């Protein structure tokens, strides 16, 4: 069985499913991810779905048992979920440093008792993506423009969960093969076109956010481009590590 990782869009949808009792449930999101695993026949899909409870990572089993919505997540739970996102690598010690020092002003204190809100979790996932291309000072400057007062979600230019799913969607819309992996050949030979396409898609996404003025739309549009390019960088880093590992084993 292939290891189960989620695309960023799938993870964003999973967080959104934990936010509200309406719409798709967490178990449906995870089930769809299992069925979407590459190189599976219909029979194998059914077998994978039937065996979900025994074969899934522990964090997914835990998420599927959650009966309420708008839940909080501990740092360890956020790290466990983060490590199920493709091309990502989280450690509890690093994330602890982020919330205590590097992005403390963006995250703030746990907003769900001793646990962090889903929006705070999304910001940490965004930070993980951005650190592929930006230093923490730049990350703080960029995200502060978008999310403003950490204690008040109403003054965000865009909600963290919706920002995360927006640039995740742009990344998946670029040039994706049937395994949900961005086409390496396209990235290598059409880099300039990819950059233009990212900008165009970001522009399209921002047009649907009606409450923003032109300056705010420009901020979000540029931030979406930066975030999508950062995910691309994470992808290339992952491919590079794979080639390194293969070379060492020769």
Q: Domain for residue 137, yes or no?
A: no
Residue 1 belongs to a domain: no
In a domain, 64, yes or no: no
Whether residue 68 lies inside any domain: the answer is no
How many C-alpha atoms does 79 have within 13 Å on its Cβ side?
13
pLDDT confidence tier of residue 216, bands split at 50, 70 and 90:
very high
Q: What is the DSSP letter of 103?
A: T
Burial 90-109 (b: 16+ CB within 10 A, else e): beeeebeebbeebbeebbbe
CA gap 109, 91 in Å, rounded: 19
Segment 52-68, tens digit of pLDDT:
555 789 999 999 888 77
Task: Name the domain count of the chain.
Answer: 1
Position 199 in a domain: yes
C-alpha 139/C-alpha 107 separation (Å) is 12
Closest by CA position to 197, among listed 164, 230, 227, 175: 175
Half-sphere exposure of 174 (CA within 13 A, CB side): 30
Q: Which two three-digit tokens encode residue 39?
A: 């190189």
Whose tokens are 């178990």? That residue is: 27
* 236 occurs within a structural domain: yes
> Given a cut of 70, is residue 47 above it in pLDDT?
no
Average pLDDT over residues 124-144: 97
Q: Which domain holds residue 184?
A: 160-248
What's the pLDDT tens digit per position in 138-170?
Answer: 999 999 999 988 888 888 999 999 999 999 999
């Amino acid at each position: 069985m292939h290891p189960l990782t989620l695309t960023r869009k799938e993870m964003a949808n999973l967080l959104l499913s934990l936010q509200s009792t309406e719409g798709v449930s967490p178990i449906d999101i995870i089930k769809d991810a299992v069925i979407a695993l590459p190189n599976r026949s219909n029979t194998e899909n059914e077998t994978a779905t039937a065996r979900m409870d025994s074969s899934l990572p522990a964090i997914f089993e835990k998420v599927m048992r959650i009966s309420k919505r708008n839940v909080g997540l501990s740092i360890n739970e956020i790290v466990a979920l983060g490590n199920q996102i493709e091309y990502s690598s989280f450690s509890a010690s690093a994330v602890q440093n982020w919330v205590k020092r590097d992005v403390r002003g963006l995250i703030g204190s746990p907003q769900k008792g001793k646990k962090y809100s889903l929006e705070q979790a999304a910001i940490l996932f965004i930070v993980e993506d951005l650190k592929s291309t930006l230093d923490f000072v730049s990350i703080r400057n960029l995200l502060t423009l978008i999310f403003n007062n950490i204690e008040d979600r109403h003054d965000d230019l865009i909600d963290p969960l919706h920002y995360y799913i927006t640039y995740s969607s742009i990344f998946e819309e670029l040039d994706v093969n049937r395994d949900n992996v961005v086409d390496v050949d396209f990235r290598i030979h059409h880099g300039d076109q990819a950059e233009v396409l990212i900008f165009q898609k970001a522009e399209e996404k921002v047009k649907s956010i009606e409450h923003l003025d032109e300056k705010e739309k420009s901020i979000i549009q540029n931030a979406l481009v930066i975030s999508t390019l950062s995910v691309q960088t994470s992808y290339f880093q992952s491919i590079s590590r794979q080639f390194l590992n293969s070379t060492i084993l020769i």
